[in-house]
């Protein structure tokens, strides 16, 4: 890995993690309060994140041509399929049960929320079973 790639990935992750902590998404209780309609804050988190990312995805390729320290801007097309939609339904069930999604499961460790290690183990186990037995 090029040093610049390392630095960009680490800095981007740090901003992401700081944002997750500031928005209190590292507290499953807050996520569950959203999912049970007690606090609509998560919509602002999602909306704010989406708006900024939308601008970057739209304008960076046009203005820069290629990434500052990379070869090309990647695209990651999602496919309209039973896997995508069925997987999303399952993901929601798990998320609604624990209030922890992948980003906060990792970032939460940074604020000392150690029980999230249990969710992290669950996420890793779920990803293993998916890849091992239900990969393409």
Partner 1 sequence: MDLFPLGWMHYLAGGLLLGAGMSLLFIGTGFIGGMSTVFTTVWSWFSKAPAFQEERIVASRKWRLVYAAGLVLGAAAWMLTLGESFVTQVPAWQLALGGFIAGFGARLSNGCTAGHGICGMASLQPPSILAVVIFLFTAMLTANLVKAFA
- Write out the binding residues for partner 1, residues 42-101 only, by CB under 8 A: 42, 44-57, 60, 64, 66-81, 83-101
DSSP state, residue 74: -
End-to-end CA distance of the chain: 28
**Paired tokens of 105:** 């499961």
Report CA 26 to chain centroid distance, whole Å.
12
Site string for partner 1, 106-135 (x = CB under 8 A): xxxxxxxxxxx-xxxxxxxxxxxxxxx-xx
Q: How far is the CB of 8 from partner 1 (least distance, A)?
A: 3
- Shortest Å distance, C-beta 63 to partner 1: 9
Site for partner 1 contains 3 (CB under 8 A): no
The distance of closest approach from Cβ of residue 106 to partner 1 in the complex, given in angstroms and rounded to an integer, is: 5
Read out DSSP for 78-134?
---SHHHHHHHHHHHHHHHHHS--HHHHHHGGGGT-TTHHHHHHHHHHHHHHHHHHH
Number of residues that bind partner 1 (CB under 8 A): 120
In angstroms, what is the minimal distance from the CB of 38 to partner 1? 7
């Amino acid at each position: 890995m090029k040093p610049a790639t390392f630095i960009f990935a680490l800095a981007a992750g740090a901003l992401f993690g700081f944002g997750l902590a500031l928005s209190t998404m590292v507290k499953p209780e807050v996520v569950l309060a959203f999912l049970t309609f007690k606090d609509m804050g998560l919509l602002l988190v999602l909306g704010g994140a989406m708006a900024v990312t939308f601008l970057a995805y739209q304008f960076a390729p046009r203005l820069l041509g290629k990434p500052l320290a990379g070869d090309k801007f990647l695209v990651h097309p999602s496919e309209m399929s039973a896997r995508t939609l069925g997987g999303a339904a399952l993901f929601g069930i798990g998320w609604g049960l624990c209030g922890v999604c992948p980003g906060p499961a990792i970032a939460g460790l940074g604020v000392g929320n150690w029980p999230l290690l249990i969710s992290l183990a669950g996420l890793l186990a779920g990803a293993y079973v998916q890849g091992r037995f239900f990969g393409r």
